[in-house]
Amino acid sequence: MTGLALVTAAGQPVRLHAPRGEYAAWLRDATDSTAATRQIRDYDQFVARWPDLERWFTAPLLPRLGCGTDIPETSADAGLYVAYLSLVHGLPLEANYVLGSRWQGLLTRGTGSALGLDLALLDDYADGIGQLGYDRRMRTALTWALPRLALIRADPDFTTISYADLFTFGQAIRHFSTLPEAGLVRAEQVHTHSTAKPPAQLAAEFERGALGKLHVLLFNIGQVREEPRRGLRAQRHWSERLTPPQTPPRIKALVERWLTLRLGAEIDRPDSIRLARDAVRRLLLWLASSHLEITSMDQLTREHIEEFLRYLPSCLSERSKRPLTIGTRRVTISHISAFLRDASLHGWPDAPLRPLLSRGDLPKMPQRLPRFVPRDELDRLMTPSRPWTTLTGAPRCSCCDGPGHAVARSADCLWTVSMPTPTAIHGYGSRSARATANAWCPCTPKQRTNFVS
């Protein structure tokens, strides 16, 4: 950042014009002499009309855009200087002004590079949109969106765009479409059939199209971590929502202390801590609906826990809207037990005085018995469907074409030998078939020389 476009006075940021000599030197490097002369003239007119840059930022939108008035506004011709203030001096611009301006010539090789815009990266983004299966004409939407997003952020680096920036940009477009001036600005700048559409419809189409596809692209290249969904929504990380909104303050403080300790000290993996948060969250939601009188965990009794255990089988999953499985219930009870035990053991305020859960409260997992297979059906299943080969693709032994499914290498015979499939019939293997030397291989040393390619 150079110059004094944004300084701080008495604790408040004050926006100032860039020095004329500095801007002229930058123009000589960014454009040719003819364009530099014209831009300096526009700069002089703009500064003469708006010597106080703060007043320009607070002026009505249409005069600044040069729309809907008989008096031509000088700022409509000073777009390059305004972009220079934003991208070189780090001066954020108002979203309505950015969305209402044309910004012609901003992406030319000399000017765009001088402003810090990576035009090669913009080409890569356009190619990436095509590789994801979208229309390559989406480049037009990208070249419209990305420079304007950079002007609002006052940062020309496309690689620093986050999901929050995309969401804020979508909100700005929706807000601009609701302004009374939006239709007039659109009609004066664009002369195509799309001007007949209401601005709100155009904003919705752009959000679903360009911004949505840009979100998909940035997610696939790892620049944003929020998964693409239909429309841009405000998304908060689960670590920012450790407890439900209606949680009493004393319970909230105890739960957040336990979870933030595990997160900060990296006691568990983040996914495991999220499961713990979900488990405690189920308990807190149940308390909020069934026992509003409980405002602290030290008021929790074994009777409350037993009531919660009876409630769990009927609790519906937030995702599938189905009753929780036995495995999910076991995980939920285990995490809640760990939370109550740790809080009590560490002597934290408002913690239960004694453990309220034990391993005996975990529901038992069902034990599945092996399925009985009749002998005649088993013989048909054990018939080989194709010749066997060795594990390394070497020739097989011609005398090992007996029944079997699982294969293992014999210690004495180098060829693939048959191993029994796990079944419920005695003599046909256990639940885990083991490799045994020469198992089901009747060949003699002399017969092992009969190779079959």
Question: Predicted confidence band at 385 (pLDDT cuts at 50, 70, 90)?
Answer: low
Q: How far is CA 433 from CA 103, 111, 248, 372, in A?
A: 72, 71, 56, 17
Do residues 155 and 102 both lie within one domain? yes
Is the confidence at residue 335, as pLDDT, over 90? yes
Residue 1 lies in a domain: no
Q: For the purposes of burial, counting CB atoms within 10 Å of the CB of 398, is it exposed (0-12), middle (13-18) or buried (19 or more)?
A: middle
Rounded CA separation 235/166 (Å): 11
Q: How far is CA 11 from CA 8, 14, 17, 18, 162, in A?
A: 6, 9, 19, 21, 29
How many domains in the chain? 3
Do residues 266 and 400 both lie within one domain? no
**Contacts with 402 (C-beta within 8 Å, 6 or more apart), sequence order:** 418, 440, 441, 442
Do residues 356 and 377 both lie within one domain? no
Question: Which amino acid is it at 302?
Answer: R
Are the C-beta atoms of 344 and 288 separated by less than 8 Å?
no
Per DSSP, the three-state class of 85 is helix
pLDDT at position 305: 93
Do residues 319 and 350 both lie within one domain? yes
Do residues 56 and 82 both lie within one domain? yes
- Residue in the block written with tokens 């005996």: 360
Residue 359, both tokens: 């391993």
Question: Predicted confidence band at 190 (pLDDT cuts at 50, 70, 90)?
Answer: low
Question: pLDDT digits over 169-182, tens only?
Answer: 888 888 888 887 77
Q: For the purposes of burial, counting CB atoms within 10 Å of the CB of 245, is it exposed (0-12), middle (13-18) or buried (19 or more)?
A: exposed
DSSP code of 104?
A: T
Rounded CA separation 113/106 (Å): 9
Are the C-beta atoms of 407 and 441 separated by less than 8 Å?
no
Do residues 48 and 111 both lie within one domain? yes
DSSP code of 194?
A: G
Do residues 92 and 178 both lie within one domain? yes
Do residues 88 and 34 both lie within one domain? yes
Question: Predicted confidence band at 130 (pLDDT cuts at 50, 70, 90)?
Answer: confident
Residue 232 lies in a domain: no
Residue 227 lies in a domain: no
pLDDT at position 175: 84
Is the confidence at residue 353, as pLDDT, over 70? yes
This model's pTM is above 0.85 = no
Do residues 395 and 357 both lie within one domain? no
Residue 164 lies in a domain: yes
Do residues 341 and 415 both lie within one domain? no
Are the C-beta atoms of 218 and 224 separated by less than 8 Å?
yes
pLDDT at position 234: 52
Q: How far is CA 360 from CA 199, 329, 333, 363, in A?
A: 63, 13, 11, 8
Is the confidence at residue 426, as pLDDT, over 50? no
Per DSSP, the three-state class of 453 is coil
Q: How confident is the model over 213-240, as a mean pLDDT? A: 76
**What domain range is 284 assigned to?**
238-361
- Domain boundary among the residues 361, 380, 411 is at 361
Residue 208 lies in a domain: yes
Is the confidence at residue 340, as pLDDT, over 50? yes
Are the C-beta atoms of 6 and 89 separated by less than 8 Å?
yes
Per DSSP, the three-state class of 409 is strand
- What mean pLDDT, rounded, does the chain reach? 77
Do residues 151 and 48 both lie within one domain? yes
Is the confidence at residue 136, as pLDDT, over 80? no
- Domain boundary among the residues 330, 361, 392 is at 361
Q: How confident is the model over 64-79, as a mean pLDDT? A: 65
Residue 357 lies in a domain: yes
Is the confidence at residue 388, as pLDDT, over 60? no
Do residues 399 and 444 both lie within one domain? yes
Q: How far is CA 410 from CA 66, 149, 442, in A?
A: 88, 67, 12
